[in-house]
Amino acid sequence: RQRVISSGNLQMVDRALMNNEFTLDRDLAIDARSGDFLGLGLLRYAAGVSIGRGRDSTGFEDFDFHYFARVEVLPFGMFEDYDEGDFERTRAPRLSIGAMYSFQHNAIGLSRQTSNLPADGGTTNYHLFIADAIFKYAGFSAQWELAIRNGSRNPGSAVDAMGVPLPVTDPRNGLGTMIQAGYLLPGRRIEFSGRFGAIRHLGIGGPSSIPAESELGVGFSYYVAQHPFKIQLDYFRLWAGPGTLDNGANQFRIQLQGSI
């Protein structure tokens, strides 16, 4: 969900760590969808197929398609579930729950259609499942995402300068998760937020080349005119693996946004 929320409508300066690893990103596709199935204000869906080559691709050979489907349930009715923060200070709870599944056959990249190309020159078949939820009530907002990817490699025939076949790169099997929350102070244009995120190897299906990464951070936003005009800053501690915070790096970011 967070990947398709506009970068200008985020609660913190940038998206969670897991988005870069598990996003499907842009592709040429055809789909069927409904923004309000049966007109009840409770359900959305989308299902389709894409060419599986991603943006900026060249050539039209080897079309091994990418298939995807997503459903969203809004038990308390429609609301602004693709904007972070609760500017409306909703008087009744609002909740949106989503789930998505996709399958890519002979993907060029290890994680997305054309990202993290394997050194051996082969392809990857992978399954991706994503679940997410966003909740808003009285200025408080919270969201959660979980992504699980599992796949297998089709080794290529690339060789080194001596003609020796290159080792087969392991698939990037693993999971990513994040939880984020924020509170817009009553009668103020100030919001405080926080987020934890992690990427891990699943521990099943054999070796994986996915990196183990973690993030923990806090943010501050001053909204001059909600998202179009705002000042945001955040601090994150980034570290590798499930280890302690001592072995990592600090990240400070500040952003001034103005748009019409």
Assess contact for 190 and 221: CB atoms under 8 A.
Answer: yes
Lowest average pLDDT, out of 51-55, 164-168, 211-215, goes to 51-55
pLDDT above 70: residue 188: yes
| 112: confidence class by pLDDT, cuts 50, 70, 90 | low
- CA-to-CA distance for 46 and 143, rounded, in angstroms? 21
Q: What is the residue-averaged pLDDT of the chain?
A: 92
Distance CA 237, CA 259 (A): 30
Report the sign of the C-alpha dihedral through residues 67, 17, 58, 106, in that order.
negative
End-to-end CA distance of the chain: 24
Which pLDDT score, from 0 to 100, does residue 202 have?
A: 81
Contact 137, 77 (CB under 8 A): no
Fill in the DSSP letter of residue 219. E
Task: Give CA–CA dist 196/183, Å, rounded.
Answer: 16
Q: Domain boundaries in the chain?
A: 2-187
**Tokens describing residue 177:** 């998760």
Look at residue 241 in the predicted model and tell me its pLDDT. Answer: 74
Q: How many CB atoms lie within 10 A of CB 199?
A: 25
In what side-by-side order are the strands of the sheet with 174-184?
A: 29-34, 43-50, 66-73, 94-107, 123-137, 140-154, 174-184, 190-200, 213-225, 229-240, 248-258
Element (H, E) at 21: helix 17-22
Report the pLDDT value the prediction gives residue 57, as an integer from 0 to 100: 66
Whether residue 116 has pLDDT greater than 80: no
Residues 195/12, Cβ–Cβ less than 8 Å: yes
CB 78 within 8 A of CB 36: yes
Q: Which residues pair with 220 in a beta bridge?
A: 192, 233
Q: Give the pLDDT confidence score for residue 61 in this predicted structure.
A: 61
Using pLDDT thresholds of 50, 70 and 90, give the confidence band for residue 58: low
**pLDDT above 90: percentage of residues in the chain:** 74
